[in-house]
Copies of this chain bind each other. A is one copy, B any other.
Amino acid sequence: MPGTLEGRSLLGLATAEPGARSFQAVDARSGEPLEPPFHAAGSADLERAVTMAERAFPAYAALDDAERSAFLRTAASTLEARGDAIVARADRETALGVARLTGELGRTANQLRLFATLVDEGRWRDVRIDRADPEREPAPRPDVRSLRRPLGPVAVFGASNFPLAFSVAGGDTASALAVGCPVVAKAHPAHPGTSELVGRALRSAARDTGMPDGTFSLLFDDGHELGQALVRHPAIRAVGFTGSRAGGQALVHLAAERPEPIPVFAEMSSVNPVFVLPGAARERGRAIADALLASFTLGVGQFCTNPGLVLVPAGGAGDALRDRLVEGARRSEAQVMLTAGIHRAFQGGLERLAELGARRLADGRGGTAATAASAAVWEVGVDELVARPGLAQEVFGPSTVLVRYRELEELVAFARAMEGQLTASLFGEADEWEGAQPLAAVLERKVGRLIVEGVPTGVEVCRAMVHGGPYPATSDGRSTSVGARAMERFTRLVAYQNVPATLLPPPLR
């Protein structure tokens, strides 16, 4: 019965024995514990999951592409078939609402299908062949062929704010499985029930399509030790993580201290600055304000792409934009945050902004739930921002800081000093782009995605997408966690010199 939760880790096709310790999910709206208890995985469970993944790796990596893509497609349809139960549980655990979660489930399934298509196409392998030339002088030229190969078992950490699209069957799991890496997922403790349902959908798809046992496992734990042991395990070859800067940095350091260091792809923090040029503020200030309001309050602001910093011209047009945004924020309803911890951190972030001298312009309506957050709009001058860089630190939740500027040069100077970001957005009139070239030139060095006339929330799952960015937006700014090129992160290059067909990987024969 897919809808009945067991509260136990999935070790390949098997289910873990009950453990010594358990924890419960919490109804995000009421704060009440949800049944059943989840047994925390012990070190023996971890060892078994990783050992099974390591054993499954050669067989899984050697499957025909059509078999791996069938697994991904079956996983997508199984998720959809069980969608109602998954969304219902996720809504209780996260309070994100049925509409958003239904959309996220569809996106998660479609992402699995995109990677299935990419597996079938095979371009990700980047096959290159230099043929031999036995006649070449002074020495014969060898036959050299190369391609990308999977790294091995990958550890994936579920994210609190995307219980589906960046969690158990999310982007990192999909791209790792697509290239031939088994996955050991660590469920986020804030939504273990959702994780179990999704994990069982993946397990069912793995069983139905005959994947090697150990291709996918799912571990539960509400502390840090199990995750740390997972990153330290010698058979784990790469890590995918989406979460806080402190959490990501801790995993990066652990991985670097291993006898054999491994790559960690941690997506950590971003304020996603939005630059409103004077012409745009003048011509479309109200529409931009409305778009920003919708963006920074979407999902209670719990997005890594939340626009946390909006640079608005000083003067009347900027004032009108600000007033519209403030007015909208005051009317907005308080919404329940994902967890009590995230709510506490949000309140701490607001206090930090106030201490740093930001002026609070708007409070959204209060909520009845203990963990409800109201929209907050702040204002500072660009000189204050430059003097106190803490004003540009991410506050995870529905808060945004308006930064008033006078000259385009101030925008360029701020962009030069700012940390790496997932995105930056520009709003401008057609005649402003030429003047904005110096700003865009600086932003290109600081972000993974430059957006014009758009808010940063809403990451299109497409082939060209880059969802990444320089440190500290991510731990490895050369990569992306969304889009076709996400498959590259779990691969390495291998060359074959004069190797006979019997020993060549099939794509090189």
Contacts and interface: CB of A to CB of B under 8 A. Distances in A.
Nearest to A149: B444
23 contacts: A128-B484, A130-B463, A130-B465, A141-B462, A144-B465, A146-B485, A256-B256, A260-B420, A260-B470, A263-B476, A437-B502, A440-B499, A448-B494, A448-B495, A449-B497, A450-B495, A450-B497, A452-B497, A452-B500, A466-B494, A477-B492, A478-B493, A480-B495
A471 interface: yes
Contact of A464 (B144, B149, B452, B463): B144
Nearest to A433: B502
Contacts of A464: 128-130, 144-146, 495
Interface of A: 58, 126, 128-130, 139, 141-142, 144-146, 149, 151-152, 252, 256, 260-261, 263, 419-420, 426, 430, 433-434, 436-437, 440-441, 444-445, 447-454, 458, 460, 462-466, 468, 470-472, 475-480, 483-485, 491-500, 502-503, 505
A505 B450 CA distance: 12
B449 A494 contact: yes
Contacts of A505: 444
B465 A434 contact: no
A419 B498 CA distance: 23
A441 B58 contact: yes
Please provide the 5 A-B residue pairs with the shortest distance between their CB atoms, ordered closest to farther: A466-B495, A128-B464, A433-B502, A449-B495, A130-B462
Given A453-B498, A470-B492, 12 more contacts: A126-B485, A130-B465, A146-B464, A450-B497, A450-B499, A451-B498, A452-B498, A460-B497, A466-B495, A478-B493, A480-B495, A483-B495
Contacts of A445: 152
Contacts of A451: 497-499
Nearest to A263: B478
A492 B445 CA distance: 9
Contact of A144 (B434, B462, B493): B462
A350 to B, nearest CB: 26
Contacts of A420: 260
Contacts of A479: 493
Contacts of A434: 502
Nearest to A447: B494
A144 B465 CA distance: 6
Contacts of A437: 502-503
B130 A472 contact: no
Contacts of A466: 146, 493-495
Contacts of A480: 493, 495
Given A256-B256, A261-B471, A494-B450, A500 B433 contact: yes
A450 B142 contact: no
B130 A503 contact: no
A465 B500 CA distance: 17
